[in-house]
């Protein structure tokens, strides 16, 4: 969601910070701003509603210089997008400036307390209480470091905060709780960011902060404290691997279509070294917990949005091949449920970013239960990857389009490998799945070859404002995911449903103006899905069939058919997902929408 970038160095850092903010655009935002403090402790605050380019144009007019800078991209939570609500925020004296990701739940109480003491507020945000609260304590203790810690102890909610001040113009004070922050360094520069991708073009030497860490970041020394003021440690740096070329569009018109076309290589990377000779499954990230895995008798999968739908597919895979009961829960619901969890339960957290607030909260809920916690994440070094006992990385590379495409396919591929890793027996169906996984990249390439056909299909249906997606078994979660993709990027209403539930409500919607996309793959439930298709046809509803089965009898019963390569039903979901992603992409393109940055959405949802 919101993005943070900070800089201390010997050079003018304005271009560094603006470049970092550009790298954070993919997360979703509605306004941006920077605060620059120069050597004479003078400040320059520049804020702008809209894209980063507008902020850049504003900065070009004044050409500011500074060696201590913080910047921010805001995704509105408290208050509409406006210059006043944009970050950085400041105290009444304009001596303390902050950028903040997260939500301060008790900001109204703090605001009321400070207002009664003469403080004035000019924004609608929760964030503005932070610099004024620090100011309040600074005037009591005359120490910015202590004042920052005292202010943090009053805050309830989630936060990643960077603070700079004219009082100590050579430091950035930072802290996090439930929202990511990373420090990066070179010989003569230090960066702070909410996302490593914002700074990896400058440095790949980074230190990830943990919850409740407070860091005083100076050019020559970085100190880490807890909220009581006790020194925890010096910052521990590591070198991360990051392919910065994925931040560039190259010859592609946008990131979504680029990332869809990367899917075959993503699947190859996900299985490379993991599905070996003689069909041996090697998931190195699970080696340290292999003994615990042997004693699992129940699995709970948590995730949000697309990751939740991947989890639903994982439920079918693990129950079918490993014979272990699986429940899939929305992270936002699971964290508030009271349910029995035993030590033989395994919790699997799925998140592309590894920073999803609700999924982190779900992990925190069980941290004292003694359960095995596994992560399936794409972002190396993310919070979830560090909170879990073990896990498997997706290796999908940096995904910049808000609508997840390649990362979703990678998640399902990893879940397939996990199901095989947990399988108690070796039988023909297990071998068939392994073979299908090896052949999956080439079959997805054949779907990509049909892009032009799918684009033509979109133009036929572009006038429709509502769509229904239906499927059974493995195809049910894909129906949910296909509907989500269409509504995310085109703003067209779409619903995903189990085909077997058609007669329990959704069939009431069917008429000639309500198309249905029917997902029916070769298998035991094919005929049952076709029966649902016929029920739609008899009521005049337009039908698009997506199938891997050449059924001559069905051709005259539907309006359009998209054929995909034949595969087992466990891997057909990934092949069909790519076709549905292309459908959503071309629909958005035809409507002229902002494909990579759909309105109101954020790539990494770091608040509840």
Q: Tell me the per-residue pLDDT of 410-467, one tens digit each, with 9 for 90 and over.
A: 999 999 999 999 997 666 688 899 999 999 999 999 999 999 999 999 999 999 999 9
pLDDT of residue 338: 86
- Cα(238)–Cα(259) distance, integer angstroms: 28
Q: Any idea which fold 450-593 has? A: Rossmann fold (3.40.50)
Using 50, 70 and 90 to split pLDDT, how confident is the model at 553? confident
Using 50, 70 and 90 to split pLDDT, how confident is the model at 29? confident
pLDDT of residue 608: 62
Could you tell me which residues come within 8 angstroms of residue 531 by beta carbon, excluding any fewer than 6 positions away? none
Does the pTM surpass 0.75? The reply is yes
Instruction: Give the range among 110-124, 218-232, 404-418, 564-578 with minimum mean pLDDT.
Output: 218-232
Boundaries of every domain in the chain: 3-244, 255-447, 450-593
pLDDT of residue 606: 60
DSSP-assigned beta bridge partners for residue 560: 544
- Cα(223)–Cα(232) distance, integer angstroms: 8
- Cα(137)–Cα(115) distance, integer angstroms: 14
- Cα(507)–Cα(511) distance, integer angstroms: 9
pLDDT of residue 466: 96
pLDDT of residue 318: 96
Could you tell me which residues come within 8 angstroms of residue 92 by beta carbon, excluding any fewer than 6 positions away? 119, 120, 132, 135
489, 484, 494: which is closest to 464 by C-alpha?
494
Q: Is the pLDDT of residue 87 over 80?
A: yes
- Sheet with 182-185, edge to edge strand ranges: 43-49, 31-37, 68-74, 3-9, 189-193, 182-185, 205-208, 238-239
**328-355 pLDDT, tens per residue?**
999 999 989 888 888 899 999 999 988 8
We find that the CATH architecture of domain 3-244 is: 4-Layer Sandwich (3.60)
Contact 125, 116 (CB under 8 A): no
417, 403, 438, 393: which is closest to 259 by C-alpha?
403
Residue numbers annotated as active site? 2, 603
- Cα(255)–Cα(399) distance, integer angstroms: 8
Is 450-593 in the same CATH topology as 3-244? Answer: no
Bond into 88 cis (ω within 30): yes
Q: Is the pLDDT of residue 376 over 80?
A: yes
Choices 3.40.50.740, 3.40.50.300, 3.40.50.10490, 3.20.20.70: CATH for 255-447: 3.40.50.10490
84, 34, 26, 39: which is closest to 59 by C-alpha?
34
């Amino acid at each position: 969601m919101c993005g943070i970038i900070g800089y201390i160095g010997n050079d003018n850092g304005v271009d560094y910070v603006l470049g970092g903010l550009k790298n954070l655009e993919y997360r979703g935002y509605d306004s941006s701003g920077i605060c620059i403090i120069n050597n004479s402790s003078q400040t320059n605050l520049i804020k702008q509603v809209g894209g980063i380019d507008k902020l850049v144009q504003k900065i070009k007019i004044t050409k500011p210089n500074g060696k201590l800078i913080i910047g921010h991209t805001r995704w509105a939570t408290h208050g509409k997008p406006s210059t006043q609500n944009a970050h950085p925020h400041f105290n009444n004296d304009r001596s303390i400036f902050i950028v903040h990701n997260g939500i301060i739940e008790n900001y109204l109480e703090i605001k009321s307390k400070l207002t009664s003491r003469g403080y004035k507020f000019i924004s609608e945000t929760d964030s503005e209480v932070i610099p004024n609260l620090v100011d309040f304590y600074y005037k009591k203790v005359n120490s910015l470091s202590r004042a920052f810690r005292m202010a943090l102890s009053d805050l309830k909610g989630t936060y990643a905060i960077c603070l700079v001040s004219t009082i100590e113009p050579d430091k950035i004070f930072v802290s996090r709780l439930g929202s990511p922050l990373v420090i990066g360094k070179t010989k003569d520069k230090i960066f702070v960011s909410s996302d490593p991708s914002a700074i990896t073009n400058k440095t790949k030497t980074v230190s990830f902060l943990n919850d409740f860490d407070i860091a005083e970041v100076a050019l020559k020394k970085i100190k880490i404290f807890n909220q009581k003021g006790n020194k925890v440690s010096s910052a521990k740096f590591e070198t991360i691997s990051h392919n910065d070329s994925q931040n560039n569009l190259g010859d592609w018109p946008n990131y979504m279509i680029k990332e869809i076309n990367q899917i075959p290589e993503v699947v190859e990377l996900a299985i490379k070294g993991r599905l070996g000779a003689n069909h041996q499954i090697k998931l190195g990230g699970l080696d340290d917990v292999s003994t615990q895995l042997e004693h699992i008798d129940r699995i709970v999968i948590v995730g949000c949005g697309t990751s939740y739908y991947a989890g639903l597919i994982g439920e079918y895979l693990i129950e079918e091949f490993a014979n272990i009961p699986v429940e899939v829960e929305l992270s936002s619901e699971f964290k508030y449920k009271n349910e029995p969890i035993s030590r033989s339960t395994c919790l699997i957290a799925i998140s592309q970013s590894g920073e999803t607030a609700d999924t982190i909260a779900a992990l925190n809920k069980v941290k004292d239960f003694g359960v095995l916690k596994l992560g399936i994440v794409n972002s190396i070094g993310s919070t979830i990857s560090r909170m879990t006992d073990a896990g498997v990385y997706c290796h999908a590379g940096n995904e910049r389009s808000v609508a997840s495409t390649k990362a979703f396919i990678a998640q399902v591929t990893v879940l397939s490998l996990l199901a095989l890793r947990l399988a108690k027996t070796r039988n023909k169906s297990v071998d068939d799945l392994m073979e299908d996984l090896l052949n999956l990249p080439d079959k997805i390439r054949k779907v990509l070859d049909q892009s032009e056909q799918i684009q033509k299909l979109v133009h036929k249906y572009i006038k429709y404002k509502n769509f229904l997606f239906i499927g059974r078994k493995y195809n049910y979660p894909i129906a949910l995911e296909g509907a989500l993709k269409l509504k995310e990027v085109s703003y067209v209403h779409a619903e995903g449903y189990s085909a077997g539930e058609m007669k329990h409500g959704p069939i009431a919607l069917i008429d000639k103006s309500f198309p249905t996309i029917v997902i029916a793959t070769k298998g035991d439930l094919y005929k049952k899905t076709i029966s649902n298709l016929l029920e739609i046809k008899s009521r005049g509803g337009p039908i698009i069939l997506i199938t891997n089965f050449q059924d001559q009898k069905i051709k005259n019963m539907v309006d359009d058919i998209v054929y995909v390569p034949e595969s087992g039903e466990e891997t057909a979901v990934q092949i069909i997902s790519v076709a549905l992603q292309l459908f959503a992409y071309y629909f958005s393109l035809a409507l002229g929408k902002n494909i990579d940055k759909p309105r109101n959405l954020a790539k990494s949802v770091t608040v509840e």
